[in-house]
Amino acid sequence: MKPSEPDDPMELVGIGVPGGDPALVARCLVEEFVRLGMSDARLMGLFRHPFYAGAHAVYRLRGEDYVKALIAEVRRQWGYPRYTVVHPSTPEIAAPSAGSAGATDPGGRLGRGAKPPSED
């Protein structure tokens, strides 16, 4: 790599801005996706995947157990704000319970806070 040349207008001159809390970033991220209806399994996938740089950095820094505990904590607060309509042939998801597959069954959502949708 070539040495830095400060008079080069395209030289990277950015520096870290002080402050900020990675735990807060992670919690906000989990909350937003929970409020959008993402399942625990998909949320974990997002943290595990290196493509999602911010989430994955937290996963590497704090580990899988930390992320799982964080998701569980946010779930205790927000429950399952949306229910999911899953096509039965989607292979990555376990067989849905009767009444929720391909239908807008509200049964699973009314027990929210305690009962996750079947895809989890």
Partner 1 sequence: MPHVYNWQLGRQMEYPYPERHPRWQFAFVFNTNRCIACQTCTMACKSTWTFGKGQEAMWWNNLETKPYGGYPQFWDVKLLQMLGEAHERAGASMSWEATRGEGRPYGEYRGLTIFEAARKRYGQEGHQRALGYLPADEEWRFPNIYEDTATAYEGGPLGISKEGASLPEHKTWFFYLQRICNHCTYPACLAACPRKAIYKRPEDGIVLIDQERCRGYRACVEACPYKKAMYRPTTRVSEKCVACYPRIEGKDPLSEGVPMETRCMACCVGKIRLQGLVRIAPDGAWAEDRHNPIYFLVKVEQVALPLYPQFGTEPNGYYIPPRWVPRPYLRQMFGPGVDQAIERYQAPSRELLAVLQLFRTTQKIIFRYEIREGPKVYETTINGKPWAMYNDTIIGYDKAGREAARVTVEEPVHVRPPEYVNSL
User: Which residues contact partner 1 by CB under 8 A?
Assistant: 1, 9-10, 12, 14, 16-22, 24-25, 27-29, 32, 36-38, 53-54, 57, 76-79, 81-87, 89-91, 93, 104, 106, 109-110, 112-113, 119
Amino acid at 83: Y
Q: How far is residue 41's CA from residue 19's CA, in Å, rounded to a whole number?
A: 31
Least gap, CB of 98 to partner 1 (angstroms)? 17
The number of CA neighbours under 13 Å toward the Cβ of 73 is 12
Q: How far is the CB of 10 from partner 1 (least distance, A)?
A: 6
Taking each helix axis from N to C terminus, what angle separates 40-48 and 22-35, rounded to the nearest 10 degrees? 140
**CB 68, min distance to partner 1, A:** 20
Long-range CB contact pairs, 49-54, < 8 A, 24+: 54/25, 54/29
As a whole number of angstroms, the distance between CA 98 and CA 85 comes to 12
Q: Tell me, what amino acid is at 25?
A: V
For 4, the 3-state DSSP assignment is coil
Q: Nearer Cβ to partner 1, position 27 or 68?
A: 27
Q: How far is the CB of 117 from partner 1 (least distance, A)?
A: 9
Q: Return the number of the residue (90 or 97) whose C-beta is nearest partner 1.
A: 90
Q: Nearer to partner 1 by C-beta: 1 or 65?
A: 1
